[in-house]
Chains A and B, each alone.
Chain A
Amino acid sequence: MIKSFAPAALLLATIILLAGWLTGRTAGEFSVVEFYTAEASSFRAKVDAQTASHGTGQSLEGIPVVHPPAGDVYMAVKRWEFSPALELEPGARYRLHLLTEDVVHSAAIDETEILLEPGIAKVVSVTAPLSGRVRIQCGEYCGLGHTKMIGSIEVLGAKPKP
């Protein structure tokens, strides 16, 4: 009895799982993000203006460090960097605007991933933790430097006071 039941049960479970997979019902919820069309040059101008008004004067491997107030923050993406590096206030909420300036990349921000295509800016809400870092890394293969494409988002409270 069990000998004939077990194979049938396994195949039935497989057919149910297969139907769920093909219809997308087994997927988790994809992150919903805002998006808008954007020219790379005008987006870059916003990034530069942000750096001019909120830059700390420091840089990380040539990438300027910016300490923006809560609200809209602009980050340009290209092989193989996220610019600028951000310093955030603990617990503050930010709307992070991301635009790729060259090829397709993605931004894996902690456990969420957003695909970035040229010409389309994506906006994702980020609430800074009370301490530590928000991890941001490219998750779409984009060339030999892909694995090194890691941005820097530090929460200011995490830094030791000099």
Chain B
Amino acid sequence: MPQLWSDETLPAARRAELRGWALLAIGSLAIAGTLALLLGLSRTPKIQDWLPWGPHFFYRALVTHVVLSFEVWFLAALGAFSTLVAPPGKAGNILGRLGLTLGVAGVVLLLIPALADQGEPSLNNYVPVVGHKLFYIGLGVHALGVALAAVRVLPLLWSTPRNPVRFGIAAAALAYGAALVCFLLAWAMIPAGTEADLLNERVFWGGGHVLQLVNTMLLMVAWQALAVRAYGTGPLAASLTVACFAALGLFAAASPLIYLVDTDVLGLSHRQLFTRLLWVGLPLPPLVMGLGLTLQILKGPRHWRSPAFLSLALSLFVFAIGGFAGFFLGVADTRTPSHYHAVIGGVQLGLMGVFLLHILPILGRPVDEGRGVRLQFHLYGWGQLVHALGFFLAGAAGVPRKTTGIDQGLDTVWKKVSMGVVGMGTGLAVLGGVIFVWMALVRLLKRREASHD
């Protein structure tokens, strides 16, 4: 297991590819952050009059921000992970390089409509879109690029002995393929002439849910890698960890069958079936692994000054709180964003740990594991937790989700204080995110590697 992450096993071609995926991942976060800043400016009186964009810029920028910080960042992480474990060989290298090229080209294409102020934005769930050909083509090209990189790790599903991290990445690649099949089936089955907003919502609904299984597997890969770094061993026996990944992979692989079981892709029951996927298929494996990790942490030692331990513990805690909140959701109040912000925060913390503590050192661009890294994890982790707590309390008091201003109906002190807590958490998490992007990007953009000069 330890040799998996050491640079001896990664030839120069793979290191170059890994740097490319890492730059795509972190660069996407940086652009997403810049867009978030422009979002703020486009809602600021006076300043908004100086900006050269039309009134729909806010929504286009919001769509692009979400796609970059949610889809591209996670999928580029899958691309990076695939580079680390794909069996050696020329074919794998070619697939990886081609995949990376398409992955980057896709992002460039989908950025064009947002910056050129073109296309109708749609804030549908999971993969919001800008209704412009270039955006859809960019999304497709990016998805194909990640698929090409991911497909080369599928043979690891059958290879023995089974290494948990290798198997986990292969299972995530399989689940990603299943998500793409769901997108394609939905697109093919929705009747022609369906109104654009409904079309976008339902095309990305099923596959969007399956992508959450992919994200969960990426998190579990991160937990395994960080636990090995912090403790020298994973939280569970290797066979049980592999079974956890296999369980998620099975659900993901079977999910396209829903399109045969319930063919009315526009119906309510179809929508609710995929909602059930997250209730029935997702919780058990991360729960088992999370319990193992909790025991490992309780047994100790607990080195709070170690960034690997910190990212591991915070990731587990924030994800667990978010997962627990998922069992207390209302229909349309802010308990839903409370749940998904916390679970996504948990995934982000795990991936941040892997990027800073594994991938950058492999690339010969290590970070100093001092106060800055620890501060970053604390700010981001506790910020996400405070943010989610505020949303949960506000939702329990009846504040509707995805609303702003007067539509929130903040008519009690409880609701106002809860939403104030949300804002405070957001501020802390944004600071942590900015520090992470800065630390990683500065090192990735350096021309020369530290340990391979």
Contacts and interface: CB of A to CB of B under 8 A. Distances in A.
Interface of A: 3-4, 6-8, 10-11, 13-15, 17-18, 20-24, 26-27, 30, 103-104, 106, 108, 110-115, 135, 137, 139-144, 146-148, 150
Interface in B240-278: 240, 242-244, 246-247, 250-251, 254, 257-258, 261-262, 266-269, 271-273, 276-277
Nearest to A118: B195
A139 B407 CA distance: 16
Contact of B284 (A10, A23, A150): A10
A10 B121 contact: no
22 contacts: A6-B237, A6-B243, A7-B239, A7-B243, A10-B240, A14-B250, A14-B284, A17-B284, A18-B254, A24-B273, A26-B280, A110-B331, A135-B332, A137-B331, A141-B122, A141-B124, A141-B200, A142-B197, A142-B198, A143-B197, A144-B122, A147-B401
B239 A22 contact: no
Contacts of B262: 24
Interface of B: 59, 121-125, 195, 197-198, 200-201, 237, 239-240, 242-244, 246-247, 250-251, 254, 257-258, 261-262, 266-269, 271-273, 276-277, 279-281, 284-285, 288, 330-332, 398, 400-403, 407
B273 A111 contact: no
B234 to A, nearest CB: 13
A4 B239 contact: yes
Nearest to A79: B197
Contact of A17 (B237, B257, B261, B281): B281
Contact of A103 (B121, B198, B280, B330): B198
Contact of A144 (B59, B240, B279): B59
B281 A21 contact: yes
B276 A104 contact: no
A22 B243 contact: no
Contacts of B59: 144
Contact of A135 (B273, B398, B402): B398
B83 to A, nearest CB: 28
B81 to A, nearest CB: 23
A111 B266 contact: no
A39 to B, nearest CB: 19
B251 A18 contact: yes
Contact of A10 (B195, B244, B257, B261): B244
A112 B332 CA distance: 11
B331 A144 contact: no
Contact of B240 (A6, A137, A146): A6
B284 A24 contact: no
B59, B125, B201: residue with the most chain A Cβ atoms closer than 10 Å:
B201
A140 B201 contact: yes
Contacts of A142: 197-198
A142 B330 CA distance: 20
Contact of A146 (B121, B123, B269, B277): B123
The residue among B59, B122, B280 with the most chain A CB atoms within 10 A of its own CB is B280
Q: Which 8 pairs across A and B sit closest by C-beta, in order of nearness?
A: A147-B402, A7-B243, A14-B247, A115-B268, A141-B201, A108-B331, A137-B332, A10-B243
Contacts of A27: 269, 272-273, 276
A106 B254 CA distance: 28
Contacts of A20: 280
A114 to B, nearest CB: 8
B240 A3 contact: yes
Contacts of B281: 14, 17-18, 21
Given A22-B257, A144-B59, A150-B400, 11 more contacts: A6-B237, A8-B243, A10-B243, A11-B250, A14-B250, A24-B261, A24-B269, A26-B276, A108-B331, A135-B331, A141-B198
Contacts of A17: 251, 280-281, 284
Contact of B250 (A18, A23, A111): A18
B404 to A, nearest CB: 8
Given A10-B247, A141-B197, A150-B400, A21 B280 contact: yes
B273 A14 contact: no
B407 A21 contact: no
A100 to B, nearest CB: 11
A22 to B, nearest CB: 6
A8 B60 CA distance: 48
